[in-house]
A = this chain, B = another copy of it.
């Protein structure tokens, strides 16, 4: 059920509807839009009688939701969601770029790369302190020490920190340090973690699982939003297919597909999506052209010495060129009216 308020509805009207929803034992999710507010309802086991709302002041209509997701849907909120990380916007007019090393290795390496990133005008820094690794014997990240290094980078450069939260046990710790909490592909359906992160109000970047369908991807975001955290950024990072010329197959068509169904911003990670440097640049450009709201790329000053994923890290000069390219392409796309994507 979805309550759409009239354009002239007051804050009091919205509050009253939320109250009624709460009294019924359900959870209201008000989503202010540019012209009017809609209120999603979760927690109801089945259909709700719309007459509960029909006569409340300010209510335009009560709509039954037939899609499996509600809060992520454009039906609930027509306008694009802009997620704010300090003064940086993701999903707004600017093309968001997140860059940095795969893993925090040493304070020196991290700071050097951060300076390269900051020098290009990019404002979001990535780096893993907790690393999900296929083998129990691989480097698993520096943990808390890594988070401290990232905090030092922030203090020194003003860059905002995007870093992965691996599990509920370390969620408090990561939440304390990070500006954006990243949920990795392997955890896209770790529902306990999704719920836990739904309880913070910090922005979340949710990576698509390796074989997740569009619906599963949207429902994973719904898990987070159902807990009240509406600051979700979707992220395509490649899926598993038979193709063997890249590590994963970057599925850029998910960008217009997500935008078609959801108001949430979506970015693309061409580094994990391809696994090879010479494909990262063309695919990052392609992401911008496909209408993505941003990209996340790995940059390393000495990729040949990187502790993980060196072959996909960009060299500093490549990265600088890439920043210019994607901004120029983003301008073309923005001018050509993104609404076309939402036909």
Contacts and interface: CB of A to CB of B under 8 A. Distances in A.
Interface in A171-200: 186-187, 189-193, 195
Contact of A340 (B132, B226, B321): B321
Contacts of A277: 343
Contacts of A42: 136-137
B239 A253 contact: no
A245 interface: yes
A329 interface: yes
Interface residues of A, number: 79
A245 B250 contact: no
Contacts of A308: none
A186 to B, nearest CB: 4
Contacts of A282: 252-253, 255-256, 289-291, 341
Contact of A214 (B187, B193, B211, B244): B244
A301 interface: no
B253 A240 contact: no
Contacts of A246: 253, 257
Contact of A254 (B70, B168, B245, B336): B245
A96 interface: no
Interface stretch (A8-16, A56-64, A75-83, A216-224): A216-224
Contacts of A253: 243, 245-246, 249-250, 273-274, 279, 282-283
A260 interface: yes
Interface string A269-312: 00001100111011101111111000000000000000000000
A167 interface: yes
A120 interface: no
A35 interface: no
B245 A242 contact: no
Contact of A245 (B135, B213, B273, B286): B213
Contacts of A219: 134-136
A281 B341 contact: yes
A260 B289 contact: no
Interface string A329-343: 100110011001111
A222 B167 contact: no
Given A168-B167, A213-B245, A278-B341, A132 B189 contact: yes
A166 interface: yes
Contacts of A283: 252-253, 256, 290
In the A-B complex, the 10 residue pairs with the smallest Cβ-Cβ separation, listed nearest first, are A289-B289, A211-B211, A167-B192, A285-B289, A214-B245, A211-B240, A286-B290, A286-B286, A186-B189, A240-B242
